[in-house]
Structure formats: structure tokens, C-alpha cells
Amino acid sequence: MLFKTRSAAVYGIDAHIIDVEVDFSGVKLDQENFSTVGLPDAAVRESRDRVRSAIKNSGFDLPPTRITINLAPADLKKEGSGFDLPIAVGILGAYGGLAIKDVSDFVMVGELGLDGSLRAVQGMLPIAVAARAAGIRNLVIPAANAREAAVVQGVNVYPVNSLLEVRELLNSAELGGITATPLAVDTQALLSDVQEYQADFRDVRGQHVAKRALEVAAAGGHNILMIGPPGSGKTMLAKRLPSILTPLRFEEALETTKIHSVAGVLNKDEGLVTHRPFRSPHHTISDAGLIGGGMIPRPGEVSLAHNGLLFLDELPEFPRNVLEVLRQPLEDGTVTISRAAMSLSFPARFMLAAAMNPCPCGYYNDKSRDCMCTPPMIQRYVAKVSGPLLDRIDIHIEVPAVQYKELRSGTAAEGSAEIRARVLAARERQHARFLESGARTKGSSKSASRAVFSNAQMSTQQIRVHCELASEAERLLERAMQQQGLSARAHDRILKVARTIADLDAANGIEVRHIAEAIQYRTLDRSYWA
């Protein structure tokens, strides 16, 4: 007898519906013969032992016979333990253990324990999206994954804890209608929760220029590099940057959650990433760890920081080959990983914050201590950060050592709440401007339209529309381009930063003072990398 169920497989951050076909011969054998076809990996092939024990320990008696399981389409690689549940349900249906004969309106995913209990699997949010796109109304999944999948509207999510619960749910659908209530999640309530940050800019003494630069970076989503001696507060400033970032919009939250779900780092109690990610990998990370990789590619740190912040402390200590792979995601906002079996793309639109010392000893140009490094040593040290990578960082600032009087001052510094209010106001102006002009840009991964949420994400066409300059500002920018030898990319990034500074000032147009401040943020690379 043949019985069909439906499941899903995740590739990249998208899922595909998989048909699970179970056939048994009906002829009793001395020993059970269990085979799985359709390009299964080791975890799928091992499911036969988990499924057999789970069915027997749930109270069902299966006579030994030949069972063939086909995962269609057969030309797609199947991996993971999420096929346990649909295989078990297919076997029960084939043996007549279910009252329902057609379960085509159910997608089932979950790993089975030997006692018949269900465990969570990765990538449930993309699976829920794929089920909705395929017009399948019901999703039967482990309770631990339920909040994640319930974020998707238009799909009935039924959380279950065991194989017996699944059987009762399916039989109730046949005998009189499902009586269980699908789980519902209020996404707007989740996104409206205000996150409390332990780290606050009120703790930072002095460094007014650095605070201003971080405010500009947060308001426009710009990349920023901080250079200064040890103990000047670079790391302290960077760790407080998330406290002034804007909240995620629902479209951003959904895309970020898909990546975290596939990577297996999503908090099961939340179900939705409601706050911008902050990733700070150690400088011993590999290029695959930063960008992503594997036989079946998995997202790396740049994708986990999508719509959030990636902080690289001690930038020159990262291997050069690791830093150089940042070029494409900084420019395109996506990462494409190609393998012999497949090629997958992951979103990687993140804000980069980096910190470094000016030399190996750390005290080059420091007024309080003498630098012990020779010029060749300094050049070798800063040359670890290449010119092309530096050109993709919008804001370069120097963070000098804090003076004693500022350190011991009793005057209260401005807190994150005040700075964040200005950042939010600037972002609202940007959102209204892009919404009015219908701002869209082509995505690199699927040639689809992609919303623009900040000034840093503007395309060349949008820069020409939204960054028009008066004659005086035009002359100032021209002079800076000629004197500093700036590239065309630097020209566009200066305009983006100037547009953000104008938004912070609530100005409709870019004025001379806005261009002047944006140019000042591009001068350090000419002193250290000259």
C-alpha cells in the first residue's frame, strides 16, 4: 500500500516542499527491510532506527516487511532529522493506523525521539513561508518551533509534543474537524517591546567627536572605523552602539529571523528576532566562519549580522584573507557561496563597526606616551587593512586618549535615550523620503526588488535624486576630491553621509556644513595609509 505525506527541506534561507512517499509490500518477512531513496544524507538514512523505535514505543505493532520511502523530488539533496515525523506518519498511514487517507493539506516536520516525543529542528520559519506559498494551510511541528512558525500569517500552526498527538490531530481532521486551536503570535506586540540595554553612552566620558560620528553612523546605517591608542574607549563605544540603533521593521525582522532559524541560533521562546543583531567575532575566525560555508552552505557572521551590527575589534589582527572577503558583502549586501552540488545566496546587509590601534605598540601620535615603532613597522601594521576595504568604510575617526579632567568630571554625559531619539527622527525622515519616491533597488541574489531602509543602502540613481548639492557645496566637494585623491566610491559615500547629517539637522537639502563634516570623516585614511 502507498501513503503520501508532505514535508520540507531548507536550502539557504528558503525551503522547498518535499513529498514523502511510503510503500510497504504487505508480505511478512523474517527481517524488516527498510530503505530510503531520494538523495538522503546520513541523518535521513538513520531515521529508520528512530522511526521504528518511536512507532513501537508509541503502542503500534508493525509486522516485519519491506518498506520503501521516496523523498521527491529525488534530485534535491535531503538533510537533517526533520523528515522523521512525516516518515513515521506515512508508515502509520500505509499500515492503516490512520483514519485519514489524504494528508496533502498538512506539512509535517520534526525529529522523533525513541519514545515518540518530538524535538525541534532548524529552519522552521522558511518552511512556514514555503507552506503558505504552496497553498498548504496546516503545519504540524514540534511545540518548541511553534512560535517561530506562527509569525507567518496565513498558515495554521499546530504545536505537538509526540507522535500520538499527531495521530489524534490528523484523525480529528477526518472524523469531524480539527478541534485543536492553532497557535497565534502578535508580531506587532513583539516588535513594540522596548529592549533595555545595560550599556549606555552616559557611561562614556569625553569622546564627543566619536559620539557624534557614531550617531551619524547609526542614523544612516554607515560603516565606521575607529583608530586610537589602547584604553581610549573604542570597544566601549562600539558596545554601546546597539543602544541607539532603530528598531527593526517587520520586513527586516522576518528576513533576519529566517537566517537565525536556518543557523540554529534563534531563541525558541521569542520566535522572532525583534532587535537588531550585534555580532562580535574573535579575530581568530576563519573566512568560512565569517562569510559562511560547508558542504551544504550555512550562513556566517556577516549574514547573522544582517540588518544589524558587525563589530570587528583589533581589525589588523584578523587574517588578511578573512578581511578581504568582506569586500563583496559590504558592496552588494549579499553573499553567494558556490559548491559543486549547489550555489546559495545569503543576505548580508549589515553595519560594520571596526576598531584598531594606529601601530603595533598602539601609541603612534599619542601625546602622553612615546611610540616605539619604526615607520616600516607602522606601515606593515596598517597595510593589513587594504585600501579597497578601507574605501568601503564610510566614516573614519580618531579616538584619542581621554584626559584626566574629562575622566573625573562630575558633569553627566548625554545618554543613549537622547541620542536614540535623534537617530529615530532621522530614520523616519529617510523612510518617508524613500516611501514617497517608491525607492526600490534590484537585489543581487534573485534580481528582485529590495526595499531601502537607510541612506547607506541608496543606489547610485537614488543618490542623484536625493543628494543634490548647491553650488558652494559642489565646489567644496570638488576641492576635497582633488586634494585628497578620493575615489568615485568615496564620492558617493560622502554624499550619503552628508545626506544623513542633513537628516539629523532636519534639513531638506544638503548644505555646505553637512558636506564639510562628511569630508572630515574621510581624512584619516590619507594620514595613516598615505
Give the span between the Cα atoms of 455 and 451, in whole angstroms: 12
Q: Give pLDDT, residue 524.
A: 79
Strands 334-338 and 309-312: unpaired
CA dist 6 and 76 (Å) reads: 15
Q: Is the dihedral of CA 305, 309, 314, 316 positive or negative?
A: positive
Domains of the chain, start order? 2-185 (3.30.230.10), 201-441+452-529 (3.40.50.300)
CA separation, residue 347 to residues 214, 298, 339 (Å): 24, 12, 18
pLDDT (tens digit, 9 = 90+) per residue, 474-524? 999 999 999 888 889 999 999 999 999 999 999 999 999 999 999 999 887
Cβ-based neighbour number of residue 341 at 10 Å: 11
Angle between the 488-504 and 208-220 helix axes, to the nearest 10 degrees? 100
Task: Decide if 200 contacts 413 (C-beta within 8 A).
Answer: no
The per-residue pLDDT for range 423-455, each reduced to its tens digit, is 999 999 999 998 887 744 444 343 334 678 899
Tens place of pLDDT per residue across the chain (530 aa): 799 999 999 988 999 999 999 998 777 777 778 899 999 999 899 999 999 999 999 999 887 888 999 999 998 889 889 999 999 999 999 988 899 999 999 999 999 999 999 999 999 999 999 999 999 999 999 999 999 999 999 999 999 999 999 999 999 988 878 888 999 888 887 777 666 778 889 989 888 999 999 999 999 999 999 999 999 999 999 999 999 999 988 889 999 999 999 998 988 778 889 899 999 999 999 999 999 988 778 899 999 999 999 999 999 999 999 999 999 999 999 999 888 777 889 999 999 999 999 999 999 988 888 999 999 999 999 999 998 999 999 999 999 998 888 888 877 788 999 999 999 999 999 999 988 877 444 443 433 346 788 999 999 999 999 999 989 999 999 999 998 888 899 999 999 999 999 999 999 999 999 999 999 998 876 667 76
The reported pTM is 0.88
Which string of DSSP letters, residue by residue, matches 130-157? HHHHTT--EEEEEGGGHHHHHTSTT-EE
Pair 501, 216: CB distance under 8 Å:
yes
Instruction: Give the number of other Cβ atoms within 10 Å of residue 283's Cβ.
Output: 14
